[in-house]
Structure 1
Amino acid sequence: MSGLRTFVRHNGLSLGFGGLFLLSLAGQALSGMADFNDRQLAHGVDPVGLGSYLTSSSFAVDVAENWQSEYLQFFLYVFATVWLVQRGSPESKPLSRIGTESDEDQLLGRHVQPGSPKWAKAGGWRTAVFARSLALVMGGIFLLSWLAQSVAGVAAYNAEQLSDFGDPVSWPEYLVSSDFWNRTLQNWQSEFLAIGSMAVLSVYLRQRGSPESKPVGAPHGVTDESG
């Protein structure tokens, strides 16, 4: 039992947010199905069950459009903070460390430690890939989610078009449509606002005990210091 408690304590952040994710996804599925069926009835079409809704393009596009924007946020933040700084923000590096930093700073080459990851010690292409693996994976998930959004989106859009006696469109036509870019940009703008707000507000505001905040008594101008 102590082993389970230790595991939960050591992984509380991922377990907590994983649970919140599953609960919110279930809530989205139920509320989304209710909204979808309301629209079905308004068009004189029979409502669908939960299983049918979960495999529908309507549910898939709603999920994918949120996932792609979230992973875009993380990808851009991971990549942009290599080169861009915000003086006084714990979310930023100080001016002296702009760029990819030295091998000594990054514990590479002769500076590796006994516990360093194997690919950090390997050198060559493996270290080069590992050194960029976080941004590569975040960017890859973003692109896959965006692709999924476009595929599910064209199916959902064409279903609405047919129910309204309109003409369906092809996938390339949908990619340049206002529906696709409205879905995309309404998520992107909120993510960009959230990133910028966090970077600036954390200069002047504090949350005691949070690694996303500076120590409560730290001067506003102190950069790259977490509490």
Structure 2
Amino acid sequence: MKRFLRDNGLGLAFALLFLASLVGQAFAGNAALNEHRLTDGGDPVGLWQYVVSSDFAVDVAENWQSEYLQFFVFIFATVWLVQRGSTESKPAKRLGRESDEEQSLGAHGKPESPPWARAGGWRTRLYSNSLGLVMLALFLGSWGAQSIAGHSAYNNEQLVDFQDPVSWGRYVLSADFWNRSLQNWQSEFLAIGSMAVFSVYLRQRGSSQSKPVGAPHTATDENG
């Protein structure tokens, strides 16, 4: 068990942080909603009623979709784009998809290589893009969930204000939907771009996201 915890510490730690943050968001969001409802003369709602509501779902989904969009764009962008000196970039000499030999694919596979990397054909092609495709699927799924939950929450507000509800198609073209999406996208692109540039000049001793403290600024694709 001790070895398992050591070997999976990063994933487990972030899983716990995720759950703690999600629970905290539920309590804080419920309190904020009830404060708003009481101000408007409405009745407060219980925690579970809030957790299964569209208000909670849209807040969660809009954050998830922006995170997965960030990873999807960054994964594919780093195939063709480089940032000299950044730990988030590969060296310019490896620009592009690289050769089968460099990637240990097909006949160039090693005994310890994943089976689909050595299989050749469609399985190797699929596996060669599996990380980006999964991130794309998660982004589209969570963005779709945001649109559905946001549509429901938006129409609830419309009814409270004695206005007609709108169709899903009209909602996804609305300012509300795109404001929710774009306010998250810009922060994600800013964060990942900042990290790529800051890692050229700044260091964090012992972190895999940083070069060794004494490495030159021009050293690329190195971590300590």
Give the TM-score category using the shorter length.
Answer: over 0.9
Contact 1:86–1:92, Cα closer than 8 Å, also in 2: yes
Runs of 4+ more than 2 Å apart: none
Q: Which shows bigger deviation, 67-76 or 43-52?
A: 43-52
**Equivalent residue for 2:72, pick from 55, 65, 75:** 75
> What is the deviation of 1:152?
0.2
Question: What's the counterpart of residue 54 of structure 1?
Answer: 51
SS in 1 for 2:85: coil
The CA distance in 1 between the partners of 2:148 and 2:40, in whole Å, is 24
Aligned length: 224
The CA distance in 1 between the partners of 2:11 and 2:176, in whole Å, is 34
Matched, 1:194 2:191: yes
User: For the aligned residues, what is the CA RMSD?
Assistant: 0.7
Contact 1:89–1:202, Cα closer than 8 Å, also in 2: yes
**Equivalent residue for 1:136, pick from 133, 138, 163:** 133
Question: What's the counterpart of residue 23 of structure 2?
Answer: 26
**TM-score, length-normalised on structure 2?**
0.98
Matched, 1:87 2:84: yes
Structure 1: segments with no counterpart, 5+ residues: none
**Equivalent residue for 1:100, pick from 82, 97, 100:** 97
- TM-superposition CA deviations, 1:104-124 (whole Å, max 9, x none): 111112221111111111110
Q: Which amino acid aligns with 2:3?
A: T
Structure 2: segments with no counterpart, 5+ residues: none
Question: What's the counterpart of residue 62 of structure 2?
Answer: 65
The CA distance in 1 between the partners of 2:68 and 2:144, in whole Å, is 13
Q: Which amino acid aligns with 1:34?
A: A
Contact 1:72–1:139, Cα closer than 8 Å, also in 2: yes
Question: What's the counterpart of residue 156 of structure 2?
Answer: 159
**Where do 1:176-195 residues align within 5 Å?**
176-195=173-192
> What is the deviation of 1:84?
0.5
**Equivalent residue for 1:43, pick from 31, 40, 44:** 40
- Aligned residues with identical type, % of pairs: 68
The CA distance in 2 between the partners of 1:112 and 1:190, in whole Å, is 39
> What is the deviation of 1:166?
1.9
Contact 1:43–1:163, Cα closer than 8 Å, also in 2: no
